[in-house]
Amino acid sequence: MTAPETDALRPMTEIQIQQTRDFVNSLNAKSQTYWDMVAVGDELWRDLHITPELVILYCDGVEDYNPWYEGWLMNTWYGEGESPFGGAIVPPMLVSHFVLSVQFDHTKPFAIGSIHTFHDSEIIEPIPVGATVRIHTRAIDKFVKRDRRYVRHEVTVTDAETGTRYLTETRDILSR
């Protein structure tokens, strides 16, 4: 089987191909394995301001056009939005996507090649667009299953100002 080309799935010019290869090489050069980056008992947390634009970026990536999530629209720009809870709210699984940026030391290069394999999420309260959430993670297990290495985390997402608990989660990452 011949190796695929950089532009196998989308058209690119020579300069785009070179920039892509340079970017991937830069990611790969400093990367450690996820398994080595995390120790059981590691606790980390960060605050994330969920801006209207962040929600739009998330939704557009998965083609979810539910107007409940719109605190920003082309032409009108910022607005309160409208949902069954009043103003615009955040899609139920959005904060789960950002846990990855918390559960290892984000000041180090990302452990590319790792894969998310499982989550068990309790959705407790709707998150208003514009909220700042605190994502707290704790590594609770590292295990090998069928010769594959996994790291398990417990996650809690709360409102950074009010302490309202929005989501809890258990999740597994398959390491290189």
Partner 1 sequence: METSNGAPPAPGLITRETPVGYELIGVTKKAAIQLMGSRLWGRFNPNHWDPVYAAETGLKAPIQTGEMSSAYLSEMCVNHFGRNFFVNARMVCKYVAATLANEVITTHGIVREKAPKGDGFRFKVEIWAENEAGEKKTVGWVEADVEV
List contacts with partner 1 (CB under 8 A): 3-6, 8-10, 20-21, 24, 27-28, 54, 57-58, 60-68, 83-85, 89, 91-93, 96-97, 110, 112-126, 176
For partner 1, which is the closer residue by CB, 41 or 73?
Answer: 73
Give min distance, CB of 30 to partner 1, in A. Answer: 13
Residues 126/89, Cβ–Cβ less than 8 Å: yes
Residue type, 117: T
Q: Say which residue the tokens 């089987």 belong to.
A: 1
Residue 156's Cβ-side half-sphere holds a number of Cα atoms within 13 Å equal to 10
The runs of H, that is alpha helices, within the chain are 14-29, 34-37, 52-61, 94-98
**Beta carbon nearer to partner 1, 41 or 84:** 84
> In whole angstroms, how close is the CB of 43 to partner 1 at the nearest point?
22
Closest CA to 167 of 117, 118, 116, 133: 133
Least CB distance from residue 137 to partner 1, whole Å?
15
Report the nearest approach of partner 1 to the CB of residue 102 (Å).
14
